Amino acid sequence: AFVVTDNCIQCKYTDCVEVCPVDCFYEGPNFLVINPDECIDCVLCEPECPADAIYSEDELPNAMQHFVELNETLAQIWPNITECKAPLPEAAEWDGVPDKLPKLVR
Ligand code: SF4
Ligand code: F3S
């Protein structure tokens, strides 16, 4: 499956949602996740993310392994999102800031 990682937090551009053929993105207040049981590894979302926050689980850097479980867990709790919307207001300022996980709102 593909995994949404740290740099989505506080940005949430949502370009990824628009291209997913199986609508497997789930939305929290300042982050999106992918439901790994629904993702069919089509690869379409990865290049769409302006924040480069999406990785194939196979290519996920070691330092981001904890995002696998986080995507799995939050996809069970958060509502489905199927249409692109405006990014968070301070997306440009937060894009590229390292280690945003403490800012995650569940
Ligand atoms: Fe959806 Fe394809 Fe991305 Fe999986 S890889 S989340 S199926 S767009
Ligand atoms: Fe997040 Fe990138 Fe999608 S910032 S909402 S993973 S386009």
Pocket test for ligand 1, best of 4, 14, 17, 41 (most atoms within 8 A of CB): 41
Give me the amino acid identity at 48.
E
Give, in degrees to the nearest 5, the angle at Cα 79 between 9 and 41. Answer: 70
Q: Which pLDDT score, from 0 to 100, does residue 62 have?
A: 98
> Residues 14-26: pLDDT tens digits?
999 999 999 999 9
Domains and CATH numbers, the chain: 2-82 (3.30.70.20)
Average pLDDT, the chain: 98
- Is the Cβ atom of 9 under 6 angstroms away from ligand 1? no
Q: What ipTM was predicted for this assembly?
A: 0.98
CA of 65 to the centre of ligand 2 (A): 18
- Is the Cβ atom of 37 under 6 angstroms away from ligand 1? no
Residues in CB range of 27: below 8 A, 6 or more apart = 12, 78, 79, 80, 81
User: What pTM was computed for the model?
Assistant: 0.98
Element (H or E) spanning 55, and its range?
Answer: strand 54-56
Q: Average pLDDT in the 7-12 region?
A: 98
Q: Which pLDDT score, from 0 to 100, does residue 88 have?
A: 98
Ligand in nearest proximity to the CA of 10: 2
Element (H or E) spanning 33, and its range?
Answer: strand 32-34
